[in-house]
Structure 1
């Protein structure tokens, strides 16, 4: 994102992310400087305007930076000591949690807030990152691989016994390819995403995918792209306490997607002949055709370059206990391609008699014993 508030000197990574062991000091310098810059960017997100998607662009800039930093560590994992890997993993986790909490605090008209997974007595994020840097610089030179689990403490303001496991998990040495696992499974797929920081579902056809509760640790961002003839339900892990920070749905055809709760923006682009149910602070719909949307939105949904779009309120089964029905602006749609005073011909309210019944959402969408995908899609109204 080209904004002077997000510019500053940075240590450039090598052309290839693979890092040699003799570059250990450089690796630490790069990680510390990048994490410090990301933290500063997170703390300045409130300065960006909601108009024109400026704040969302800034958030996505930070998300991209955290992802790049995580990938940088993962690529060098075979040459980093187990002690250092734990420290770097903690640093990335702190940045992700800081972004979650910040997005919640600045979300417009939000009826729900993130519940930080960090304990109340944790040190401020800036102090924690400085502590991580000191541990890497002065911790255990050379033979860090021999550091005992008991030494890995006070990273975030608490101590961990040698036998205690980190509930948030460590950065995996070899990131799992969940999309590959989904393609090889049978029946209703339930990928845990327990070793991921974000949900990424892509390149699937004729699949029934339900995200289970363990996926709640991977809701920093959701991305669903290049799907056809499929059913995807992401509502279970994305409650009002663990919502997606943002959600992107793109290049979808003949699918039903339940996006769950999104604290920030849901961007829906190039989707055809599909049904989408989602709750978000802001919903932007671009280049869509022959669609049915079931929404809870605290701001007017925006459509652009869309035709034959129908809207209905989000089914009650997907609402959080604190979500105010009167605050739902699902029917206050703004068509950026229609400036006349009369109603836009590109969208309309979905008649109540044509809406999916509540039991379809609660009983059919999650999958029924002995019922295949073809029959399930027929009950939903998909081809």
Structure 2
């Protein structure tokens, strides 16, 4: 009896072991399939992102190779500026080409800043800033400003009338502005307005660079995607912008609200302004104070598709990771803060004119 009982127990144990082993193998198979599905989905999303967004480099080494080549080319163009021509018109054309190359270099940093270490982004932007400063110095030195001369009263009146004439909102700015530290390329835009609601719908269109400048007490609504955005000299304005594939540069703003999504956002000389951002890299502020940050919150028909096309559909939380380039201490910079939730504006649909609070 004991032998039969022992044999029976052994058989039951063996059967149990087989069942547990099958169950274990089944679990491993499910886990393996789940992991493979995750990998397939990740590769699919990456492929879709790469096909829908601007090309980016696969490694930091390839980025720096391209960056260094462009930097050397710009430095070479700057070096020959003194011997290029003495004709101001030809010099201006020469400087415009250099300015365009510098802007392309800055966009290169923006488009690749997602995978670059923060230090490398800072160093690259510092290089771009130095190139801009060199260009501005040469422009001031080699293209003399007009000398003062007396005019008769008729000419003086004509001059005053020309100055007060309201310029077109789509006038192009000069490549190098006396009022700005950024070298601004000629581009369509909204300029020189006061107390207006300005709306642009770019859905289904290919728009490159766009400029918003010299606005007072205006509300700007841009629907659709842009390649790059420049913002200069705004006061008491509200700016709502769809996704920007490259970079956003903001300078000399006060008392404003910005709602923006971009791969890189750089803010210079901003005062008492709120920024609602979605950004792939850390926002950068310089010479700014009283600026506050909150997450991006904007809606219009087709915005989700636009965000996916710009690879900005995922929230990175970088809106709260701000770099203050003029604050070198380890503690939090006093120049920026998180905007309290109870003070944040509620933004609905920018497609219409009466539903933003």
- Structure (1/2) with the larger helix percentage: 2
TM-score (norm 1): 0.46
Q: TM-score, normalised by structure 2?
A: 0.49
Which one has the largest radius of gyration?
2
